[in-house]
A and B are shown apart, each in its own frame.
Chain A
């Protein structure tokens, strides 16, 4: 019997995060700061809407693009919240923002096309690029720039095969954000090199002290942009699998073809639940989201200040729910530090190089955990560092 696994599939590197957490599996008493999802329960009214949908017998396929009410609601939400303009016809409801990333890349990446990705970044981009025969090109970002992507480093990575740039801000794992002037600095490079922008703004509702700015709100960029967002982080709906992608007509038509064949539609009850969430939030002036953010902000400050106090320099992340302290001062790199920390103090963090070479001397800690857990974890990390 021959080996049936495709070359592309077998060439995919396994997730660095998964690898690390398999080490933790089976060990009790580990305090984990690894998870990348909210520790909040989906708000009651949203869950109820989903349950109602099922009870009413609405369990069929929806149209491929998703229910029209949700697309309309998203259209007005994006306009009001971020000044981003998409009509309901430009929007596809996807199975999580994860599917949006996948179909976006499948719609635009040909064999040999280069996709520029800021490093460190979320683990899924490069594999999705490679699965389509594309080449993932990491653009290093540095702590001195608060991990923003800069024109200088971007230019250095551009070749005649560069086709797409992924801009994931607020960023996982660094928590870095891009403000309007940061985007304007790279716009010229993007336009001059005729690049397509894929902007993954899944953490758009989680910015601290600053309003989130979307690159898609810049008119000259909008027509060369695929906009991705979802409900997982803002509404604690990770398990519901519902997100969305917006794009200009031709690209959207290409994506819908792939979506039709591969997935047909996102779960109907998740769509109705998301609709309820968006409607209620808009009516309530985003109270639920603000409440979550307030709690996250408290934890964020606690983590940043705690790490700096220990002597592990932690830049101030203005988005998402991660801190990305540098462990270089200990003499260990992220991998070694994380491994030793796990062995000695049973605290699990994610080594920064799981997100790209630039993360080598860093660790990622999620603060989507209770304050009690964070306090315990920081006490142990502090003890660990002192004893090094």
Chain B
């Protein structure tokens, strides 16, 4: 990946609402080049999505979130990937990670309520070929999200932690 692409991604990851003009100034590059590069990254799916990180104390979407630890028997010749693909297809699955340690897959799930999440686990997840066991942990409270602390009160100019 080119240096320019890396720089732009780093800046957009920090704040995807920086304008092309602002990004161009930060890098010292002309706006057309920046625009073109971003378009390329969107088209080749390096940039998947732009979203917004919200303070869950102030915006409640009434959904229930859970982390499910899944132990899996990897399939012959396919490893974890085929099973992961099947799981990704579910709308309830927000994130899916292969992990080292005591279990294999960390599944972040979002449902309308506790019952929905429980049903997802019992009917959809457990039934998948290869799933050995699931341990469901319901998310109670968020303290920090995507590098942003939710709990600290209003403070002056934030100091960056290096």
Contacts and interface: CB of A to CB of B under 8 A. Distances in A.
Interface of A: 39-41, 43-44, 236, 288, 291-292, 295, 298-299, 301-302, 305-306, 309, 369-373, 375
Contact of A298 (B27, B160, B161, B162): B27
**Shortest 9 CB-CB distances between A and B: which pairs?**
A305-B25, A301-B28, A302-B25, A302-B26, A298-B26, A41-B159, A40-B162, A40-B160, A41-B161
A46 to B, nearest CB: 10
B26 A371 contact: yes
Contacts of B25: 301-302, 305-306, 309
A43 B26 CA distance: 25
Contact of A369 (B15, B22, B157): B157
Given A301-B27, A305-B28, A295 B160 contact: yes
A372 B22 CA distance: 11
Interface residues of chain B: helix, strand, loop or mixed (majority): mixed
Interface residues of B, number: 16
A317 to B, nearest CB: 13
Given A41-B160, A309-B25, 6 more contacts: A39-B157, A40-B161, A41-B159, A288-B162, A369-B157, A370-B157
A305 B22 CA distance: 9
B11 interface: yes
Contacts, number: 45
Interface string B16-32: 00100010111110000
Interface residues of chain A: helix, strand, loop or mixed (majority): helix
Contacts of A39: 157, 159-160
A43 B158 contact: no
Contacts of A288: 162
A40 B14 CA distance: 17
Contacts of A375: 22
Contacts of A369: 157
Contact of A292 (B14, B28, B162): B162
Nearest to A288: B162
Contacts of A309: 25
B147 to A, nearest CB: 13
